[in-house]
């Protein structure tokens, strides 16, 4: 039995206090049942932040899907059967929260003003990140981050160490709302000039600033971004929002801190910016080569208009999802190029998806070092660890396997050709939102498959792997070394 002791309060009077020497938090929870849920979440965050991330995203997606299922979310509630509407609602909820942009229906025609507002809120919540938002709110209340909150936030933002989490969370919120506000302010007068009313101009400016910076790619105009194909001002702002949003918050933090001293940038920032610029330049040149003679896309347009539109389409596969051209009208060479760009994606800890540009950079550097017979992989005066290379290989193989399984499944479900199905699956995995038209023609089962792929792509292959792993396995022995013949 627990021992009890008496404590005297002093000269002002004595009070009998019973103290259990064997007390534990479990007995406190019996006295305060309301702490059960909080303690359970805290324990789960420490034990497996990845599982908490997945659970949170699924819960939020479910909440937005329920809102979209309401009759008030549709313009014409009787236009489709209930099963199809549920599939559409789940798909669009996943697409919004995962900031993808794929949709099986025409947004402005299918959803009511309330439904579009729900989608916009889903994009914003998905961009902030459920766990990031929760951590920031906790920091605002307590004025500090505890160890458990830092572990949650570290999982959500992929911060390099716990000491950086507080600064990174502030950067997340400040960057998102500052960038969105700037975009909205710059878009607003342009919509007025185009003849929109004051109220519509404000709404369009807010919606497209949120959709662009969060790399969502949702549009509410007929024809999508093609509606603005002849407006370089709006296209440039959408490009800028997508580009900055896809760099990643650690990069934004580093550049903001040392904008005038690039020599102090860390390796992650240098790799991200270098690889991003390289992929963008290659995409720009090849898309111009493939589409400049295509009469269905750029063949009949002048050089200035062609450059802006090609640059726009080169930026979008990073995870933007806006398109001024019909994807189906583009050449198969362009499709294959964009498949690769969508699979690569954007920067780590960003609103972009894909396997990330730093993963590709590490793999290319490792292959180059192996070709030259070097023992170590060096870049920017730093040596990459073997664990980083192994992790990059794991990400690549996992991403490729997800795309392969997803494509195989969708080929069985839909009647579309391989080229279009592969494009749609990679777009879903990379949370890009560019569509070959498969989402619009897919049966309900196909929509659910693509929804799962979008969730996996948004949460990340490493987060998923960590959630499925109970614990690290350490062997106390090593086998003899032997090299098989490879290549």
pLDDT digits (tens, 9 = 90+) for 240-288: 999 988 888 778 878 888 888 888 888 889 999 999 999 999 999 999 9
Tell me what pLDDT residue 2 has.
44
Please give the average per-residue pLDDT across 57-76, as a whole number. 93
Contact 52, 152 (CB under 8 A): yes
Please give the share of the chain, as a percent, with pLDDT higher than 70. Answer: 77
Cα angle at 41 between 40 and 42, to 5 degrees?
90
Number of neighbouring beta carbons within 10 Å of residue 7: 10
Please give the average per-residue pLDDT across 38-50, as a whole number. 52
For the entire predicted model, the pTM comes to: 0.84
Cα angle at 282 between 280 and 283, to 5 degrees?
65
Tell me what pLDDT residue 67 has.
97
* Tokens found for residue 460: 């990340």
Distances (CA, A) of 433 to 23, 80, 272, 455: 54, 24, 22, 13
* Tokens found for residue 329: 């009208």
Burial code of 445-462, b = ≥16 C-beta within 10 A, e = fewer?
Answer: ebbbbbbebbbbbbbbbb
- Average pLDDT of the chain is 82
Least confident of 169-173, 239-243, 440-444: 169-173
Q: How confident is the model at residue 16 (pLDDT cuts 50, 70, 90)?
A: very low
Least confident of 44-53, 75-84, 200-209, 393-402: 44-53
Q: So where are the chain's domains?
A: 43-468
**pLDDT per residue as tens digits for the range 459-475:** 876 566 555 544 455 67
Tell me what pLDDT residue 252 has.
80
Tell me what pLDDT residue 141 has.
47
Q: Does the pLDDT of residue 350 top 60, yes or no?
A: yes
Q: Does the pLDDT of residue 190 top 90, yes or no?
A: yes
Tell me what pLDDT residue 146 has.
62
Tell me what pLDDT residue 352 has.
85
* Tokens found for residue 420: 């279009």
Q: Does the pLDDT of residue 20 top 70, yes or no?
A: no
Round to whole Å and give the CA distance between 448 and 450. 5
């Amino acid at each position: 039995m627990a021992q009890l002791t008496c404590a005297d309060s002093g000269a002002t009077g004595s009070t009998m206090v019973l103290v259990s020497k064997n007390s534990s938090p479990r007995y406190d929870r019996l006295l305060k049942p309301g702490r059960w849920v909080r303690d359970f979440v805290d324990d789960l965050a420490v034990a497996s932040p990845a599982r908490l991330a997945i659970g949170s995203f699924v819960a939020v997606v479910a909440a937005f899907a329920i809102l979209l299922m309401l009759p008030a979310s549709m313009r014409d509630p009787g236009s489709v059967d209930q099963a199809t509407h549920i599939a559409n609602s789940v798909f669009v909820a996943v697409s919004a929260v995962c900031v993808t942009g794929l949709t099986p229906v025409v947004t402005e025609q299918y959803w009511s003003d309330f439904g579009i507002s729900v989608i916009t809120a889903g994009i914003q919540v998905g961009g902030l990140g459920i766990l990031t938002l929760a951590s920031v709110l906790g920091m605002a209340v307590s004025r500090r981050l505890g160890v458990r909150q830092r572990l949650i936030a570290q999982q959500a933002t992929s911060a390099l160490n716990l000491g950086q989490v507080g600064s990174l969370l502030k950067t997340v919120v400040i960057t998102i709302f500052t960038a969105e506000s700037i975009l909205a302010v710059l878009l607003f007068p342009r919509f007025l000039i185009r003849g929109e009313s004051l109220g519509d101009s404000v709404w369009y400016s807010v919606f497209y600033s949120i959709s662009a910076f969060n790399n969502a790619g949702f549009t509410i105009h007929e024809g999508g971004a093609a509606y603005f194909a002849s407006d370089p001002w709006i296209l440039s702002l959408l490009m800028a929002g997508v580009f900055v949003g896809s760099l990643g918050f650690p990069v934004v933090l580093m550049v903001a801190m040392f904008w005038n001293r690039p020599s102090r940038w860390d390796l992650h920032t240098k790799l991200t910016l270098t690889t991003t610029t390289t992929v963008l330049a290659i995409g720009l040149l090849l898309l111009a080569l493939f589409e400049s003679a295509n009469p269905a896309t750029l063949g009949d347009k002048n050089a200035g208009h062609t450059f802006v539109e090609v640059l726009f389409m080169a930026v979008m596969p990073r995870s933007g999802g806006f398109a001024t051209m019909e994807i189906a009208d583009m050449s198969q060479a362009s499709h294959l190029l964009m498949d690769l760009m969508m699979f690569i994606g954007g920067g780590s800890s960003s609103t972009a998806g894909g396997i990330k540009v730093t993963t590709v950079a590490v793999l290319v550097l490792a292959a180059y070092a192996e070709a030259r017979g070097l023992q170590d992989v060096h870049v920017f005066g730093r040596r990459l660890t073997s664990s980083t290379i192994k992790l990059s290989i794991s990400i690549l193989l996992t991403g490729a396997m997800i795309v392969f399984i997803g494509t195989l499944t969708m080929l069985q479900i839909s009647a579309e050709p391989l080229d279009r199905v592969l494009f749609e699956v990679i777009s879903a995995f990379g949370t890009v939102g560019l569509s070959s038209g498969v989402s619009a023609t897919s049966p309900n089962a196909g929509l659910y498959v693509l929804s799962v792929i979008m969730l996996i792509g948004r949460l990340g292959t490493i987060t998923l792997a960590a959630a499925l792993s109970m614990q690290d396995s350490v062997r106390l022995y090593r086998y003899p070394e032997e090299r098989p013949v490879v290549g």
